[in-house]
Amino acid sequence: MAGSLVLLSVVLITIYFREPVGGGLHGVQSGGATVLRPFEVGAERVARPFRDAYGWFAGVLHAKSENGRLRKEVDAYSALATRNANAVQQNAQLKSLLKYVSAPQFPKNFDPVATDVISRPPAELAQQVGIAAGSSSGIRINDPVVNADGLVGKVTQVASHGAEVTLLTDPDLMATAVDLRTQATGLVGNGQGRGTLILDRVSKSDDVKAGDLIVTQGWHYKKLSSIFPAGIPVGVVTSASVNDTDLYWQVQVSPRVHFGSSLQSVLVLVPKSRPH
């Protein structure tokens, strides 16, 4: 009996691994996920008050130490916001004078679908989460996923009423990113430490330093374009160093998004017009 179940599991793995994403077993799994979804949403809703209460107490403990630092940041950002508002106005005027054609921009060219995070595999084995919205909400594979803090990841599997989101901390996922201060470009992806990111392929001729804000670059080349639109915050540089043997900067980035249990809801950016 146990032997047959082991054999059946191996057969399932083999078929699932070999068949294409739209194959029969994937379809059955997608249907099963749709059936399980109400139970997951129910359990998540029951647990949410307890999780919120835990988060509240944990937050209060850190609030005092954060308060002073945030006050200084508010002062700095207030001045920055005034300068930025002027720059945005000037930018719009110059664009209209030049008849400038922009690439798709976030959030203007996207319809965001707000949805709950309803399932997670063990974090040490997989960097994916399940969300409660799927193809019925217009979501497709490779749609970018964000939250209020910044870039979360991208959609990698879609069922009719659910989807799998691969987080930016997955070693297989990288995004082109740019240092907002110096415009140094690189690839941002999973770092060495847990929940950290690195900005790779930044040329030594560029300038990067701790405290710089990293955002998505959103490149566009002929008919190809990056799946992540430009300007989504990714994280802040925590350390940047170069040595003689390396070709590129070694840049550690602290993500703005908390990929742990506090990631409870996300926005899937569904493009208003999809390329055919």
Candidate residues 104, 137, 167, 170; the one interacting with other proteins per rule CB under 8 A? 170
Find the binding residues for other proteins in span 225-254 (CB under 8 A).
none
Total residues in contact with other proteins, by rule CB under 8 A: 47
Give yes or no for residue 61 binding other proteins (CB under 8 A). Answer: no
Pick between residue 154 and residue 215 the one whose CB is nearest to other proteins. Answer: 154
What SS3 class is residue 112? strand
Give yes or no for residue 162 binding other proteins (CB under 8 A). Answer: yes
Give yes or no for residue 9 binding other proteins (CB under 8 A). Answer: yes
Candidate residues 27, 47, 246, 265; the one interacting with other proteins per rule CB under 8 A? 47
Pick between residue 12 and residue 94 the one whose CB is nearest to other proteins. Answer: 12
Q: How far apart are CA 112 and CA 116, in angstroms?
A: 13
Task: Please tell me the total number of residues recorded for the chain in this structure.
Answer: 276
Find the binding residues for other proteins in span 194-223 (CB under 8 A).
194
| DSSP class per residue in 165-232 | EEETTSTT-EEEEEETTT--EEEEEE-SSTT-EEEE--BTTS---TT-EEEE---EETTEE-SSPBT-
- Adjacent-strand bridge partners of 153: 145, 167
Give yes or no for residue 275 binding other proteins (CB under 8 A). Answer: no
| Backbone region of residue 173 per phi and psi (left: phi > 0; alpha: psi in -120 to 50; beta: other values) | beta
Give yes or no for residue 2 binding other proteins (CB under 8 A). Answer: yes
Pick between residue 185 and residue 264 the one whose CB is nearest to other proteins. Answer: 264
**E strands of the chain, at which residues?**
110-119, 128-131, 144-146, 151-159, 162-167, 174-179, 185-190, 197-200, 213-216, 220-221, 224-225, 233-241, 250-255, 265-271
Residue (of 102, 219, 233) closest to 179 by Cα position: 233
Find the binding residues for other proteins in span 101-130 (CB under 8 A).
118-126, 128, 130
Pick between residue 113 and residue 208 the one whose CB is nearest to other proteins. Answer: 113
Binding site for other proteins (CB under 8 A): 1-2, 5-6, 8-14, 16-17, 25, 29-30, 32-33, 36, 39-41, 43-44, 47, 51, 118-126, 128, 130, 157, 159, 162, 164, 170-172, 194, 260-261
